Structure 1
Amino acid sequence: MQDIVRRLDTCRVCGRDDWLEVTSFGSVPLANGFLDPADLPAEEPVYPVDVIVCRGCRLMAIRHVIRPDVLFRHYVYVTSESDQMTSHMRRIASWCTRRARLAPGELVVELGSNVGLQLKLFQEQGQRVVGVDPAENLAEVANARGVRTLPEFFGADQGRRIAAELGEAKLVLGRQCFAHIDDVHNVLDGATAVLAPDGLVAIEVPYLLDLLEENQFDTIYHEHLSYYSVTTLGHLFQRHGLRIVHVERAAVHGGSIVVFAARTESEHETGPAVGRLLSLERQSGLGSDEVYLEFGERAHQVIKEVGDLVRELAARGLTVAGYGAPSKGTTLLQFCELGPAELRFCSDTTSLKHGRLLPGTRIPCCSPEQARDQEPDYYLLLAWNYADEIIGKEREFLRRGGKFIIPIPQPRVVTAEPVPAVA
């Protein structure tokens, strides 16, 4: 285990070693470590999920870092093509095109580009594109779709190599991957190596303020090393000759921010959204210890409430299944210690997960088509960030008497007729 996991002693952003110990969620298997029923290990390796906050730059992080090739070389998360996510990716393309003043023929580099859906939108606008993603299986899909993708981890070497081959990039984009990165300084060295003098770096991350206020503890797992605020990202970018010039908030993944940074000496003006969010973070107490400690207490209370509710339903002979099997869902089930005795199956649209067992809990995962043949009384909505879209799509299930349990920020039951939150 020692060669796979290391302890984070100094802050990856500012280098300080003064940590607030927030809470521990125990030791669990990797959130995306789906199991083949034909080749089950006697025991799955488990790793701690301990939450800490740097008292210098206020980075929130998990204490134990898993070697990245263990997490990402064969990755089962595929960018969603739901209506919500497709619309969001189009907004990202629009924001970036306007802010970076992108013209046809200019270069866009995306790190953590997955199967290339975001880059495809820039390609359709006439930009040249290249993606960098360490998941070899996903890079293969992207390349087959005509989106050039390097199956590598992005860093200074890759940035210099792309610049030498393709020229400078007007936009360097990282969507929902920055939280996965341990050596953020090497990545930003790569970004600045390829960035044009008037170019922009655009980083999308889950927003720490939303995570804390909406009690999104199930988004804390081994792949997510860091949890960022605008304050913390400002400290980080400054160390690389960059300054934040604009921030957009978005509803995806429970609440995210897209942070645009330019070279310090560039002519890009700093917009008012930056100051507004920095002020909001101060007013919300992100500079104090109390807000993080209170979050830890609320998280453990909801873990107990969700677990108790599902166990009570199962004890009454009612059937419960999981709707979706995202990383946050496998994490929630492990924290709640729910297994096949409580959840008969989980249904997910990702074909890579079908026929496999969820990590830790060993609940079987099936396709939505298979789930319709064994419809439960209740669905525990593990993909709660798509709740509105899913519930709208499943109106017939509700009309037949089915119910949804939405676990976050606190458990509530959704029926054809609304019912109050669980006390």
Structure 2
Amino acid sequence: MTRCRLCGSATLASVVDLGATPPCESFLAADQLDEPEPAYPLHLRVCTDCWLAQIPPLITPEETFTQYAYFSSYSTSWVEHARTFVADAVQRVGLGPDAFVVEVASNDGYLLKHVVDRGIRCLGIEPSVNVGAAAREAGVPTLTTFLDPATGADVRAGHGPADLVVANNVYAHIPDVVGFTRGLRALVADDGWVSIEVQHLLTLIEENQYDTIYHEHFQYYTVASAARALASGGLALVDVELLPTHGGSIRLWARPAEAAGEPSDGVSPARAEPRARGRVAEVLDREKAAGLRELSGYTEFSTRVAKVRRDLLRFLIEVAERGETVVGYGAPGKGNTLLNHCGIRPDLLPYTVDRNPYKHGRFTPGTRVPILPPERIAADKPDYVLVLPWNLRAELIEQLSFVHDWGGRLVFPIPELSIVEVGS
């Protein structure tokens, strides 16, 4: 990668190099274990002009998302997060019975089903054939395609402009960030709203969340770089919320530039209400204080990443030498970055479990760790359970409280290795 995909600058600086790994959602069937497996460099760099952090676009969205292994509805907390968002958005945007809501990357309908329940017209745009089919079976109208400006224009022509466009956890997943943003602008009404949730680069750096770097995530945003990306497609940032999801995310509220007013200070629009302007300014100040608009904010990250790896490997090796057992919980994409970077294979982690039946009987990419149903943990009673979706810490401490019955403990690898007693 020689140029920034947002501003075209050639001044890209290394942040962390995680070696080469397979795509994180390319789970293997048993009959694929003797076949070669492609791996691609995973090297995060930051543009020193616009400060967009990014990896090279070595795989295409079509390769990843035509058939997809992630179904949002298997996370109880994520479904509740979506329900709360819909309730709040109805009030904020003023969505009435004649409103129209579009969600881009709508997955299995985890969010739009709450819109359907309110009797509000909606449409999901989801590129994955299998996941979109699950949404339609759940009663959520879903179009199977990728978003670009032409798709946005077609949906607008066929269904009318959207009062609200939602794009949760997809803004990092598209290599053509400018084209995708123009697609969002094509969808939204001239006086409408766009809501985007995406992981915050600030918390990724501060909390050592390097396992969220994988080939599906082409870029990693601060509020400052996100505002610039939105402006590239004719949208203006009007507000931001800090969220705990995925270890720390930002919810960006944007509007068409002509509805939002002229930008103030290059980021917050002049006609945004003062409280919203204040929230944007506060987060921008935090990012600047953390050094994320200069190289100093990035230079120590790779050193801290190396320590996470050493600590986890040391723990697993010591457990094995004591003759104790450790198994995994979850098979998220982030877990595969961690397993591959640390070189953790079945000799140290004999299996992991997952609630998603699609993954049962498959194997993690690269490391070939078997994925089993969750009931296997209670049957085997391991000494430790390594929690790979650490971002669901509170939810999983409650779900896995039964591990206490035999004296088992939970292990969280990030932001630093921690061993947790559960239950009572």
Q: What TM-score, normalized by structure 2, do the two folds share?
A: 0.93
Partner of 1:415: 421
SS class of match (1:249):
strand
Partner of 2:145: 152
Whether the aligned pair in 1 keeps the contact of 2:208 and 2:415 (CA below 8 Å) is yes
Q: 392, 396, 400: which is aligned to 2:402?
A: 396
Partner of 1:372: 378
Partner of 2:314: 308
Cα displacement (A) at 1:44: 0.9
Q: 19, 29, 32: which is aligned to 1:26?
A: 19
Quote the Cα distance in structure 2 between the aligned partners of 1:209 and 1:311.
32
Q: 1:408 is matched by which residue type in structure 2?
A: I
Q: 2:294 is matched by which residue type in structure 1?
A: S
Quote the Cα distance in structure 1 between the aligned partners of 2:178 and 2:407.
52
Partner of 2:226: 233
Going from structure 1 to structure 2, the CA distance change for 1:84 and 1:265 (only over 3 Å counts) comes to: same
SS class of match (1:17):
coil
Whether the aligned pair in 2 keeps the contact of 1:399 and 1:416 (CA below 8 Å) is no
Cα displacement (A) at 1:240: 2.4
Q: 2:24 is matched by which residue type in structure 1?
A: A
Q: 2:402 is matched by which residue type in structure 1?
A: E
Cα displacement (A) at 1:77: 0.7
Structure 1 residues 357-406: Cα deviation after superposition (integer angstroms, max 9, x where no partner)? 11111111001123322221111111111112211222231242101111
Quote the Cα distance in structure 2 between the aligned partners of 1:354 and 1:169.
38
Q: 1:187 is matched by which residue type in structure 2?
A: F
Going from structure 1 to structure 2, the CA distance change for 1:221 and 1:373 (only over 3 Å counts) comes to: same
Q: 2:382 is matched by which residue type in structure 1?
A: P
Whether the aligned pair in 1 keeps the contact of 2:100 and 2:164 (CA below 8 Å) is yes
Whether the aligned pair in 2 keeps the contact of 1:11 and 1:17 (CA below 8 Å) is yes
Pair 1:354 & 2:368 matched: no
Question: Where do residues 94-243 of structure 1 align in structure 2 (5 Å cutoff)?
Answer: 94-243=87-236
Cα displacement (A) at 1:81: 4.1
Whether the aligned pair in 1 keeps the contact of 2:334 and 2:388 (CA below 8 Å) is yes
Partner of 2:267: none
Quote the Cα distance in structure 1 between the aligned partners of 2:287 and 2:310.
29
Pair 1:335 & 2:335 matched: no
SS class of match (2:216):
coil
Whether the aligned pair in 2 keeps the contact of 1:169 and 1:196 (CA below 8 Å) is yes
SS class of match (1:126):
coil
Instruction: Between 36-45 and 245-254, report the one with greater CA deviation.
Output: 36-45
Q: 329, 350, 353: which is aligned to 1:323?
A: 329
SS class of match (1:30):
coil
SS class of match (2:195):
strand
Misfit runs of 4+, over 4 Å = none
Quote the Cα distance in structure 1 between the aligned partners of 2:56 and 2:37.
20
Q: 1:357 is matched by which residue type in structure 2?
A: F
Partner of 1:421: none
Quote the Cα distance in structure 1 between the aligned partners of 2:113 and 2:155.
18
Instruction: Between 397-406 and 43-52, report the one with greater CA deviation.
Output: 397-406
Quote the Cα distance in structure 1 between the aligned partners of 2:131 and 2:222.
29
Question: Where do residues 270-281 of structure 1 align in structure 2 (5 Å cutoff)?
Answer: 270=273, 271=276, 272-281=278-287
Structure 1 residues 234-273: Cα deviation after superposition (integer angstroms, max 9, x where no partner)? 1112222221111111111111111010122215624121
Quote the Cα distance in structure 1 between the aligned partners of 2:230 and 2:23.
30
Partner of 2:266: none
Going from structure 1 to structure 2, the CA distance change for 1:417 and 1:152 (only over 3 Å counts) comes to: closer
Q: 1:20 is matched by which residue type in structure 2?
A: A
Instruction: Between 289-298 and 78-87, report the one with greater CA deviation.
Output: 78-87
Q: 1:101 is matched by which residue type in structure 2?
A: G
Quote the Cα distance in structure 2 between the aligned partners of 1:22 and 1:135.
31
Quote the Cα distance in structure 2 between the aligned partners of 1:158 and 1:244.
23
Identity %: 38
Going from structure 1 to structure 2, the CA distance change for 1:416 and 1:70 (only over 3 Å counts) comes to: closer
Quote the Cα distance in structure 2 between the aligned partners of 1:207 and 1:240.
20
Quote the Cα distance in structure 2 between the aligned partners of 1:399 and 1:205.
37
Q: 1:223 is matched by which residue type in structure 2?
A: E
Quote the Cα distance in structure 1 between the aligned partners of 2:127 and 2:381.
37
Cα displacement (A) at 1:340: 0.6
Structure 1 residues 267-321: Cα deviation after superposition (integer angstroms, max 9, x where no partner)? 5624121111111111111112122121111011111111121122112211110
Quote the Cα distance in structure 1 between the aligned partners of 2:223 and 2:97.
31
Quote the Cα distance in structure 1 between the aligned partners of 2:298 and 2:187.
37
Cα displacement (A) at 1:39: 3.2
Instruction: Between 96-105 and 295-304, report the one with greater CA deviation.
Output: 96-105
Quote the Cα distance in structure 2 between the aligned partners of 1:162 and 1:305.
50
Going from structure 1 to structure 2, the CA distance change for 1:354 and 1:417 (only over 3 Å counts) comes to: closer
SS class of match (1:10):
coil
SS class of match (1:180):
coil
Quote the Cα distance in structure 1 between the aligned partners of 2:91 and 2:221.
24
Quote the Cα distance in structure 2 between the aligned partners of 1:199 and 1:43.
48
Instruction: Between 329-338 and 83-92, report the one with greater CA deviation.
Output: 83-92
Cα displacement (A) at 1:410: 0.7
Partner of 1:92: 85
Q: What TM-score, normalized by structure 1, do the two folds share?
A: 0.94
Pair 1:269 & 2:269 matched: no
Whether the aligned pair in 1 keeps the contact of 2:397 and 2:422 (CA below 8 Å) is no
Partner of 1:5: none
CA RMSD for the aligned pairs? 1.6
Q: Which stretches in structure 1 are left out of the alignment for 5+ residues?
A: 1-7, 419-423
